[in-house]
């Protein structure tokens, strides 16, 4: 068993590392180049910045029986599918029973945001020489 922490924006990284040390559980912190962690006794993996780069590295490392800590529902779903115990940064456990609802809520919540972004974009004419 090992603990993997999605450290991008995770306010409980140091607390989780302390608990891992108290229980002699190996711990790996994964972050992108926008963050810096130098925690004793912890393996830190730093990946390039980019959409989901931390998520993909973490899901490739997590194995059945590991513990994953993340606030990202998509990453949580992928870690669950690999047989990991997945915790939110507030301590709530992601499960097969609740992850679908959380992903659906995220998708529904993003629809108004996407609509607002599209409303702000000026209309452009992509056909050369045509006029309206």
Q: Are strands 3-6 and 67-69 parallel, antiparallel or unpaired?
A: parallel
The CA distances from residue 80 to 58, 62, 94, 100, 130, in Å, are 12, 10, 8, 11, 51
DSSP state of 127: S
Other Cβ atoms within 10 Å of 24 Cβ, number? 6
Say what the pLDDT of residue 131 is. Answer: 45
Say what the pLDDT of residue 50 is. Answer: 79
Residue with tokens 């090992």: 2
**56: pLDDT confidence band, cut at 50, 70 and 90?**
very high
Name the percent of the chain in helix, strand, coil, to the closest 5.
Answer: 40, 15, 45
Higher pLDDT, 58 or 116: 58
- pLDDT, tens only, 80-116: 999 999 999 999 999 988 887 777 765 666 655 555 5
Say what the pLDDT of residue 15 is. Answer: 93
Q: Are strands 93-94 and 85-87 parallel, antiparallel or unpaired?
A: antiparallel
* Mean model confidence pLDDT for the chain: 83
- Asked whether the beta carbons of 96 and 78 are under 8 A apart, the reply is no
pTM of the model: 0.76
**Res. 66: pLDDT tops 50:** yes
């Amino acid at each position: 068993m090992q603990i993997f922490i999605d450290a991008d924006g995770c306010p409980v990284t140091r607390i989780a590392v302390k608990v891992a040390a108290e229980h002699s559980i190996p711990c790996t912190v994964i972050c992108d180049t926008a963050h810096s962690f130098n925690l004793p006794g912890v393996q830190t993996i730093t990946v390039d910045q980019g959409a989901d780069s931390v998520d993909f590295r973490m899901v490739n490392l997590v194995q059945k029986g590991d513990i994953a800590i993340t606030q990202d529902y998509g990453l949580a779903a992928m870690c669950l599918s690999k047989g990991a115990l997945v915790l939110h940064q507030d301590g709530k456990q992601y499960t097969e029973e609740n992850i679908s609802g959380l992903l659906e809520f995220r998708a529904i919540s993003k629809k108004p945001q996407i609509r607002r972004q599209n409303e702000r974009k000026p209309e452009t004419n992509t056909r050369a020489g045509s006029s309206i």
